[in-house]
Amino acid sequence: MNAQFKKGVLELCVLTILSRKDCYGFELVSRISRSIAMSDGTVYPLLKRLREDDLLTTYLVESTEGPPRKYYTLTERGAERQRQLLAEWHAFNQGVRQVIEGDETT
């Protein structure tokens, strides 16, 4: 699939996963790369940008083994953005489907 296209939906995927539950980096990244073929490394720059745009924040949780884990969680703005993107996605998806399936009434 086209890389630019993937990048566009990546933000929606990250926000959606986090809207269900807080995740640590590896968990989040491998969840995404399992469904969309893309390298794990491209997700981290996005996480950084989302954090800078105040759509998500992080907090540390002590782990029984090893160093504390950094969890990512949505901010209120992030949750709002997720709802907005999801709505846009549904509308877009529906539009695309109409075009492909040819049931436009013109």
CB of 83 to another protein, least distance (A): 23
Give the 3-state secondary structure of residue 70: strand
Restricting to residues 49-68, name those near another protein by CB under 8 A: 49, 52, 65-67
Sequence letter at residue 6: K
Are 15 and 81 spatial neighbours (Cβ–Cβ below 8 Å)? yes
The pairing of beta strand 23-24 with beta strand 69-74 = antiparallel
41 binds another protein (CB under 8 A): yes
Binding footprint of another protein, residue count (CB under 8 A): 22
Which positions touch another protein (CB under 8 A)? 24-27, 29-30, 33, 39-42, 44-45, 47-49, 52, 65-67, 69-70
